[in-house]
Amino acid sequence: MKLSKLIKSGFKNLGVNKLRTGLAILGIVIGIGSVIALVSMGEASKLAVQSQIQSIGSNLLTVSPGSQTSGAVRGAPGGATTLTNEDAEVIKISAQITTIKNVSPEYSGRIQVIAGRNNSNSQVVGVEPAYADVRKITVSYGGFITSQHVFRMSKVAVLGPSIAEDLFGENTNPVGQTIKINGNDFLVIGITKAKGGSGPTSQDDQIYIPLSTAQKQLFGVKHLTSIALEATSENVMTKAQNEVGYLLLARHKLSDPAEADFRITSQEDLLDTITSVTGTFTTLLSGVAAISLLVGGIGIMNIMLMSVTERTREIGLRKALGAKKKTIIQQFLVESIILTFIGGVIGIILGISGFYVYSQVSGSVFVVTVQSVILAFGVSVGIGILFGWYPARQAANLQPIEALKYE
C-alpha cells in the first residue's frame, strides 16, 4: 500500500478522537520541548563561559594563594596571605623563569564606591601597568594605570564600562570626574572597553586603581590576592606552570609540592572545571527531560493499544480483504509516527521559543544548533516507531476470524 495513502488514512483515523490524539501529542510536545530548551540552555551557558574565558587570554596563568596551614589546621583555599609583591618581583627577574613574558601582581577586594548620588559596593582591583597586557584590557577613553601612578601611590581610577554606567549613567564620559572609594577621592582617568560577560567576576564591572594605593591606603595589606602571568606562548603553559611552581615552593621554603600554599591555574584548567560543571548540569536536566519524553512515549503506546482494541473489527476486515501483516504494521506505525512527529514539531517550536525567552530574560546567547533540531526530529520519529511497534504487532497478529467476530 502506498505511503501517501497510509498517511492520509492515518490522519483520518487520528482525527476521529481529537481530544485523545491531542493529549497523546501533548506528552511528546512536553518531552521534546523540554529536551530542546534544556540542551540549548546548557550549550549557551557553555559557550558564554568559553567566550568569556577566551577573551581573557589563552596564555594566562593565575597564581592564587592556597589555604593557610598553621600546625595541623588547614584553612579555606584562597585565605592565605602568603603571596607577596616580592614573589611577583622574583618571578619577573629570576633567571630560572624562561617562559613568562609579563607579570601582573593584583590585590582585589569589594569596597564602597560613591559617585555623586550613586553608591555601590564594587570590586576594586589594585594593579600595575602590566595588568592591561596580561589580562587583555584595552582602554576606550583616557588611559590606564601607569608605573608613575603606582610609584606615587596616586589616587586615580580606571572604570570598567558597566560600573561606569552604573555610577555616572549612560552616554556620559566620566573621565576627569571624581569618585569616592571608601571615603577617598579618586580621579577617573580612563574607561576600559567592554569585554562582555556579567556577574561579579566580569572585568566590565571592576574598578582599577594603582596596586600600591590599594594595598597601603585602601585595604592596608601587604599580600596579593593573585599574580597573573602571561606566558610567552600557549605551547609552554605546562613548562611555565612548573617553573613558577618550583620557584615559589623554594621561596616559601616548602619541599613537598603537596604542601604548596598557592595554586597555579591556567585558563584551560578553569575552562575544564566550568565546562564539566555546566556539562553535569546539562546532563542532569536533559536526563529529567528525557524521562518526560519517555513518559510521553508510554502515552503514545497506551493510545495505540487502545486504538488497536477498539478497531479489532476493522483490522479483521482489512485482513479478510487481503491486508498482510506488514501492511497492518505499517498502518499502525504510520499513525504513531504521525503523533510523535507532530508532537516533535510543536515541541521543537515551543522549546526554541522557551529558550529564546530565557535568553532574553537572562541575557545569555541565543544559539540553536541544527544538530539538536535534527536530533529532536529523529528522536520523536524514533519514539513513534519504538512505542508504536508493540501495538502494531498486536494488531498484525490478530486472527482475521477472531477479529471479525469481535464485538
Please report, as ranges, the residues that interact with other proteins according to CB under 8 A.
Answer: 1-2, 5, 12, 16, 313-314, 317-327, 399-401, 404
CA dihedral 246, 247, 250, 252 (to 10 degrees): -110
Asked if 140 contacts 191 with a C-beta cutoff of 8 angstroms, the reply is yes
Count of residues making up the chain: 407
Asked if 35 contacts 379 with a C-beta cutoff of 8 angstroms, the reply is yes
Whichever of 239 and 324 has its CB closer to other proteins, that residue is 324
The number of beta carbons lying within 10 Å of the beta carbon of residue 8 is 12
C-alpha distances (whole Å) from 345 to each of 25, 28, 166 are 10, 10, 43
Residue 345 CB, shortest distance to other proteins, in Å, is 25
- Rounded CA separation 40/208 (Å): 36
Closest CA to 315 of 247, 382, 405: 405
Residue 397 CB, shortest distance to other proteins, in Å, is 9
Closest CA to 88 of 251, 203, 242, 201: 251
Whichever of 192 and 331 has its CB closer to other proteins, that residue is 331
Whichever of 2 and 18 has its CB closer to other proteins, that residue is 2
Whichever of 259 and 310 has its CB closer to other proteins, that residue is 310
Closest CA to 103 of 83, 118, 122, 120: 83
Residue 392 CB, shortest distance to other proteins, in Å, is 15
CA dihedral 132, 110, 106, 53 (to 10 degrees): -50
Q: Cell 613548562 belongs to which residue?
A: 239
Residue 22 CB, shortest distance to other proteins, in Å, is 18
Q: Cell 506505525 belongs to which residue?
A: 333
Residue 299: enclosing H or E segment and its boundaries? helix 267-310
Residue 317 CB, shortest distance to other proteins, in Å, is 5
Closest CA to 181 of 265, 270, 110, 82: 110
Sign of the Cα torsion 87, 91, 93, 97 reads positive
Residue 310 CB, shortest distance to other proteins, in Å, is 12
Residue 10 CB, shortest distance to other proteins, in Å, is 13
- Rounded CA separation 279/269 (Å): 15
Whichever of 374 and 401 has its CB closer to other proteins, that residue is 401
Residue 54 CB, shortest distance to other proteins, in Å, is 60
Residue 400 CB, shortest distance to other proteins, in Å, is 5
Whichever of 1 and 294 has its CB closer to other proteins, that residue is 1
C-alpha distances (whole Å) from 268 to each of 60, 98, 257, 323 are 9, 21, 21, 63
Residue 337 CB, shortest distance to other proteins, in Å, is 19
Whichever of 135 and 318 has its CB closer to other proteins, that residue is 318
- Rounded CA separation 16/148 (Å): 84
- Rounded CA separation 29/332 (Å): 20
Whichever of 74 and 326 has its CB closer to other proteins, that residue is 326
Residue 359 CB, shortest distance to other proteins, in Å, is 45
Whichever of 5 and 239 has its CB closer to other proteins, that residue is 5
Whichever of 86 and 402 has its CB closer to other proteins, that residue is 402
Whichever of 256 and 407 has its CB closer to other proteins, that residue is 407
Which residue type sits at 7?
A: I
- Rounded CA separation 28/22 (Å): 10
| Burial (CB count within 10 angstroms: exposed 0-12, middle 13-18, buried 19+), residue 134 | buried
